[in-house]
Chains A and B, each alone.
Chain A
Amino acid sequence: MMLINGITAYPTQTFSIASPNGDGDITFTLHYRSRTQCWTTDISFGDNLVINGLKLVVSANLLYAWHNNISFGLLIQSKDGLDPILIDDFSGGRIKMFLLTSDEVTSVQALVKEYGE
């Protein structure tokens, strides 16, 4: 999995990163919603995917709902189990965001399934 670097404590930031599968660039726009104390993201990937206002929460693959359409996944990891709620959660290192390859999406899904059973 690929740790996304360079997320700052700025409330509205955009960046692009190469897909871990090498099939294009993914563009993220992160918004910190101070009123509701959460982070949301807009994601666009070529012509295949545009997602707006997806709330960032701790998850094995936040993009599982779109796994049939896209090759990558998005894993949000927390140090203490709490979702990102503060503006400096990413820059401070409490929350980390990873991109998953298509193989890793499958592996993570197996972990989730195993846990569920």
Chain B
Amino acid sequence: MSDITGVDLSTYLSAKNAIIVKQAGASGISGFIFDIPTGEKTTLTADISEHYTENGSYINDHIVLKPVEFTLSGLVGELVYTKPQKGTFEYTADQITNALQSVDAYTGLVGYTSEMAQKVSVLTTQASYIANQYNSIKKKATTLLSYISGSESTESLQQEAYKKLYSLWKSKQIVSVQTPWQYFAKMGISSVVASRDDKSDDYTDFSITLKELRFADVQTTTFDASSFSAFDAQSAEEKSSGKVSGTKKELVSGLDEIFYGGN
């Protein structure tokens, strides 16, 4: 598709659909990615105070912003079709098939008839299918080999995904989340729901709810050595100032001068 539109659609779609939950500071794709994202939901909430007044109305004079909450849901399956990667045979075959199907005029330019184009399309689709099968068999063989040699576990992809999320939740990991609307650098996992229905055992529906984390800043001040600690003040030796003098002042003229005077 990239040749026709000038936009690398595969990269664009990958970026658009990739909802990544990764450890803060981790780079690349070391994080968790849904095979098929099914939904994202952001909740922005605030508490607005309500005070009753004598005349039967409310006074709302405070708004407290609550932490942002975000829910991601998606499927993790055992067999997932992924778009062919650049440089592979499947990618090239996919490119030809798409080009022939999308742009009829293109076939005319290279001298193919419509029938020919259809045949080429069928052939490339078959070739792509065979290549996929080959890769699948190769992967299974590798997995089997690893299993026999003991270097790979027999866990399903769903179990692996669950374990990854479980460890993030259990370790109270601070995660960063890229959502379609905003990037959140510090989020905590408040819930992970893994569910499977009776339709299939081959995929699990995961739902992760994250809550924004806010941290208090610590400010360091210099210690005032001239001030007494509570203990020092209580146990200080009595100090005598001897006989002190007084200064004659005019008597206060009202009680306000006692409570708010002293200039």
Residues of chain A having any CB pair with chain B under 8 Å = 1-6, 8, 10-18, 20, 25, 29, 32-35, 58-60, 75-81, 87, 93-96, 98-100, 104, 107-108, 111-112, 115
Contacts and interface: CB of A to CB of B under 8 A. Distances in A.
B246 A5 contact: yes
Given A32-B233, A87-B233, A93 B243 contact: no
A5 B244 contact: yes
Interface of B: 227-230, 232-234, 236-252, 254-255, 257-263
Given A8-B241, A77-B252, 14 more contacts: A1-B250, A1-B251, A2-B246, A2-B249, A5-B247, A12-B239, A13-B239, A13-B240, A20-B246, A58-B258, A60-B252, A60-B258, A99-B246, A112-B255
Contacts of A3: 246-249
Nearest to B237: A12
13 contacts: A1-B248, A5-B245, A11-B232, A11-B234, A11-B236, A12-B238, A13-B240, A17-B246, A59-B258, A75-B258, A78-B258, A78-B260, A81-B260
A115 B255 contact: yes
B245 A17 contact: yes
Contacts, number: 116
- 7 closest pairs, A vs B, by CB? A2-B246, A34-B233, A15-B241, A11-B233, A34-B230, A6-B244, A3-B247
Contacts of A115: 255
Nearest to B231: A34
A14 B236 CA distance: 12
A16 B238 contact: no
A24 to B, nearest CB: 12
Given A17-B245, A77-B252, A12 B236 contact: yes
Contacts of A81: 259-260
A34 B233 CA distance: 6
B258 A77 contact: yes
A4 B236 CA distance: 22
Contact of A29 (B237, B238, B249): B238
Nearest to A75: B258
Nearest to B228: A11
A111 B252 CA distance: 9
Contacts of A112: 255
A107 B240 contact: no
B262 A96 contact: yes
A10 B250 CA distance: 28
Contacts of A111: 252, 254-255
Nearest to B241: A15
A112 B227 CA distance: 37
Nearest to A59: B258
A75 B257 CA distance: 11
A11 to B, nearest CB: 4
Nearest to B227: A87
Contacts of B252: 1, 60, 75, 77, 108, 111
Contact of A6 (B236, B245, B258, B261): B245
Contact of B255 (A25, A60, A87): A60
B246 to A, nearest CB: 4
B226 to A, nearest CB: 8
